[in-house]
Chains A and B, each alone.
Chain A
Amino acid sequence: MQLGFKAASRKRRAASLAELPAGAEAVIERLDLPEEFAARLMEMGFIPGHRVAAALSAPGGDPRVFRVDGAEVALRRETARHILVRNN
């Protein structure tokens, strides 16, 4: 029930990077973050339209390493929540 609802809602609106399970890939849609910080993340590879993959994490799942732009960058969940992605 609940799972089905989640899947349905993901189709309607973009999910966040924080919800991306380890090993899964997605495409970055937009960065819902203050301009300065968003610019820095873009310089590090989190660019709208680019692919991103969730990799390993610290124990407990936070922070998590993301593969982006041929590099691995770790982000806290609270940051990843503001990076919106779509499945593609």
Chain B
Amino acid sequence: MASCHGRADAARLASPPAAPAPPRLVALIGPPNSGKTTLFNRLTGLRQKVANFPGVTVEHHIGKAHLPGHHAVDIIDLPGIYSLNPRSEDEQVTHDVLHGAMPGLRRPDGVILVLDSTNLQRHLPLAAAVLSLRLPTLVVLNMADDLRQRGGAVDTEALANQLGAPVVLVSAVTGEGVKSVAQFLTGGIAVPRVVELPVLQDVPACRQWARDVSHGARYTHPAPPLWTRRLDAMFLHPLAGPLVFAFVVAAVFQSIFSWARPMMDAIQAAVAVSGAWMRASLPDGWLESLLVDGAWSGVGAVVVFLPQILLLFLFIAVLEDSGYLARAALIADRTMARVGLQGKSFIPLLSAYACAVPAIMATRTIENRRDRIATILIAPFMTCSARLPVYTLIIAAFIPERPFFGPFLGTRAAALLGLYLLGFLAAIGTAKLLKSSVLRSDRAPFVLEMPPYRMPTLTSIGLRLWDRTLAFLKRAGTVILGVAVLLWILASVPTSNGAPPPIEQSLAGTLGRAVEPLIAPLGFNWKIGIGLITSLAAREVIVGTLGTIYGMDPDHNSAGLQAALQRELTFGGAVALLVFFAFAMQCMSTLAVVRRETGGWKWPAIQFLYMGTLAWVCAWIAHTLLG
């Protein structure tokens, strides 16, 4: 469609009226909470992917929208912004993309500006900034259903006349008007007609302009959102508010621990059954061993965590889309301020209980760089789901199940809770330490817009969970598969007479022995050493590694993993191992994401050394005290 540049077409193109061609790359921009992403999901569906801009931490989604008449257009969803003055990183990115200054991305040939129709005057100043760019622009007034319901109204034609650009009223949530957005794109959008715009740096002048324009568009401001007021009266109630908050946090934990169990058991069973089937159908030999013992069981041990991670993300997505998360940040702010952080750090730290990687990406909402780095550095102390299999294995092997606190809490659950507390205390202590030394800063201003409560939509939550599933499976298929295969190779060479060597004579055994002097004071032997080396890639890998080691070691062939561990470790050594896992930075993905988010190797290196040293010292203390 866009390739018709030939001479034969020249005459046709010149003949009036020449409708502009459909754009090829459209930028979707708008203020936070304008429903921009919902519209993006409506337009692109599953044909979208996440990407990072080079050199900055801002992530964007890019997707393809299929328009009527076999046209396709790439749509890029930019971060929510209040203005185009490049003050925050998000604003800088939007500014650069719209000016064609973003490396690796051509300048968009169209802009869809999404504004919240229920608060037009507030958001019109952004329209002035966008129109002054002289890019073909379509103005979308979102939340049409809300506007009508609350008795507001706007004359879109009058508004279009004043802005010099087409205006459509849509509701991305219900799908109303979304078709006309597609039609506008197909028909081609024009450069806005020249209209009088205010001086953009003069905020009061922009406001006056916005007021005049909305008057001209016969804009009736809708009644205040009644439901939001009612819900806030409960969620921000001095007594009920904190109770609801505690209930929400407890529900998130409960879901990770108990609701995920049946799904995890099902995945575990599926991995075991398919592994057995592979063993039966493959000829005996090294290939069978590599595929079943190396790759399949290694990856399977990790994929088991998918339900937990998805449940946590489901919760976070529902809380965020409904608008409650902003209230949670408000309630948590005072407590977070006590350790030198702020309410916006609460969301990343809560996510870190599932996985530090998305948690660290979630720190992007914190504008103050020092607060943000402090949050990034402490997030991996929160007990992520990858630590769970290690904790459960060792606790089951070393702590007998007895009532601890009446019938409510057994010793094992208490030990697990203690480990969660340990990680939390390490995070708090580290935050205090950082914020009173290298990352000291004036208390960062906390400014947070409270969005109205909205019913989360299935599409947007489904798409986010899909995103997460893909990312997680990609990790299992790359990093974890790689480590599993590498370990299998290390444990299988050098071969003697074509047969794999005893584990202590293998390359893996040699490596384990090499680190033994370093870990012997903690009560760990060389086999645990191999597990510690492989768990540098990802914590949960140690479980599969120990399984492989003891499975391959003829002495332990018949013994279960727990029995083998009971023989290898003293009680003090087991506690030391738990403490080590609570503190040590054993996760390549986290280090990689910290490097990307902090823009260099400095902070990940500091984090790795700090957490490693703390882990060693505390494990040594535990081993020395308990013997």
Q: Which residues of A line the B interface, CB within 8 A?
A: 36-37, 39-45, 47-50, 55-60, 62-63, 65, 69-76, 78-79
Contact check, B203 vs A58: say whether CB atoms are below 8 A apart: no
Q: Which residues of A contact B592 (CB under 8 A)?
A: none
Is the pair A74, B121 in contact by a Cβ cutoff of 8 Å?
Answer: no
CA distance A47 to B211 in the complex (A): 13
Q: Is the CB of A44 within 8 A of B238?
A: no
| B449 proximity list for chain A (CB < 8 A) | 44, 71-74
Question: Which chain A residue has the least Cβ–Cβ distance from B221?
Answer: A70
Tell me if A79 and B445 are in contact (CB < 8 A).
yes
Ordered by A's residue number, 13 sampled pairs between the chains whose C-beta atoms are within 8 Å are A43-B83, A48-B204, A57-B236, A59-B238, A59-B241, A59-B331, A62-B333, A69-B121, A69-B122, A70-B221, A71-B119, A74-B448, A75-B445
The residue on A at minimum CB distance from B337 is: A76
Sorted from nearest, which 7 A-B pairs have the closest CB atoms? Answer: A56-B236, A72-B450, A42-B203, A43-B82, A70-B119, A74-B448, A69-B122
With known contacts A47-B203, A49-B204, A58–B121 Cβ distance under 8 A: no
- Which of A36, A50, A58 is the one whose CB lies under 8 Å from B330? A58
Decide yes or no whether B443 CB sits under 8 A from chain A.
yes
Q: For chain B residues 540-595, which have a beta carbon within 8 Å of chain A?
A: none
CA distance A78 to B334 in the complex (A): 12
Cα–Cα distance between A71 and B449 once the two chains are bound (Å): 7
A-B contacts counted at CB < 8 A amount to 92
Tell me the bound Cα distance from A58 to B221 in angstroms.
28
Chain B residue contacts of A37, Cβ below 8 A: 445
**A72 vs B337: C-alpha distance in the bound complex, in angstroms?**
21
Query: Which B residues lie within 8 Å of A42 (CB)?
Result: 203-204
**With a CB–CB cut-off of 8 A, which chain A residues contact B331?**
58-59
Contacts of A44 on B, CB cut-off 8 Å?
82, 447, 449
Please name the residue on chain B nearest to A68 by beta carbon: B122
Q: Inside 8 A of A58's CB, which chain B residues have their CB?
A: 236, 241, 330-331, 333-334
Name which residue of chain A comes closest to B329, CB basis.
A74
Q: Which residues of B are found within 8 Å of A55, using beta-carbon distances?
A: 232
Q: Are B122 and A71 in contact (CB under 8 A)?
A: yes
B118 CB contacts on chain A under 8 angstroms: 70
Q: Is B85 close to A, CB under 8 A?
A: yes
Closest residue of chain A to B122 (Cβ to Cβ) is A69
CB distance from A34 to the nearest CB of B (A): 10
Q: How far is the CA of A50 from the CA of B121 in the complex (A)?
A: 13
Whether the Cβ atoms of A74 and B450 lie closer than 8 Å is: yes
B479 proximal to A (CB < 8 A): no
- Within the complex, which residue of A45, A47, A74, A78 is in contact with B443, where a contact is CB–CB below 8 Å? A78
- A65→B119 CA distance, assembly (Å): 17
Q: Which residues from chain A contact B221 at a C-beta distance below 8 Å?
A: 70
A43 to chain B, nearest CB (A): 4
CB of A54 to closest CB in B, whole Å: 13
Contact, CB under 8 Å: B446 / A79: yes
B204 touches A63 (CB 8 A): no
B242 within 8 A of A: yes
List residues of chain A with CB within 8 A of the CB of B83: 43
For B448, list chain A residues within 8 Å (CB): 63, 73-74
Q: Chain A residues with Cβ under 8 A from B232's Cβ?
A: 55-56, 65
Contact B447 A39 (CB under 8 A): no
> Interface size of B by Cβ–Cβ distance < 8 Å?
33
Q: With an 8 A cutoff between CB atoms, is B233 at the interface? A: yes
Tell me how far the C-beta of B31 lies from the nearest C-beta in chain A, rounded to whole angstroms: 9
Asked whether, in the complex, the Cβ of B334 is within 8 Å of the Cβ of A75, the reply is no
From A36, A42, A72, name the one whose CB has the most chain B CB atoms within 10 angstroms.
Answer: A72
For A50, list chain B residues within 8 Å (CB).
207
| B236–A63 touching, CB < 8 Å | no
B447 / chain A contacts, CB cutoff of 8 Å:
40-41, 44, 73-75, 79
Q: Is the pair B343, A70 in contact by a Cβ cutoff of 8 Å?
A: no
B87 within 8 A of A: yes
Task: Beyond the given A73-B449, A76-B333, please list 14 additional residue pairs across the A-B interface where CB-CB is below 8 A.
Answer: A37-B445, A40-B87, A41-B447, A44-B447, A56-B232, A58-B333, A58-B334, A59-B242, A65-B232, A70-B118, A70-B122, A73-B448, A74-B330, A79-B446
> Which residues on the A side are within 8 Å of B337 (C-beta)?
76
Across-interface contacts of A59 in B (CB, < 8 A): 238, 241-242, 331, 334
Complex interface: chain A residues within 8 A of B121 (CB) = 69-70
From A43, which residue of chain B is reached at the shortest CB distance?
A: B82
> What's the least CB distance linking B217 to chain A, in Å?
16
Interface residues of B in 88-136 (CB under 8 A from A): 118-119, 121-122, 125
Tell me the nearest residue of chain B to A66, going by C-beta: B450
CB of B184 to closest CB in A, whole Å: 27
Output the residue of A41, A43, A69, A73 with the most chain B CB within 10 A.
A43
Distance of A59 Cα from B327 Cα, bound (Å): 11
Give the distance in Å from the alpha carbon of A45 to the alpha carbon of B242 in the complex.
28
**Bound-complex Cα distance A48 to B446 (A):** 20
* Contact (Cβ within 8 A) B450 A63: no
- Could you tell me the distance between the alpha carbons of A6 and B241 in the complex, rounded to whole angstroms? 32
Residue on A with the closest CB to B342?
A76
Cβ A65 vs Cβ B238 within 8 A: no
Complex interface: chain A residues within 8 A of B445 (CB): 37, 75-76, 79
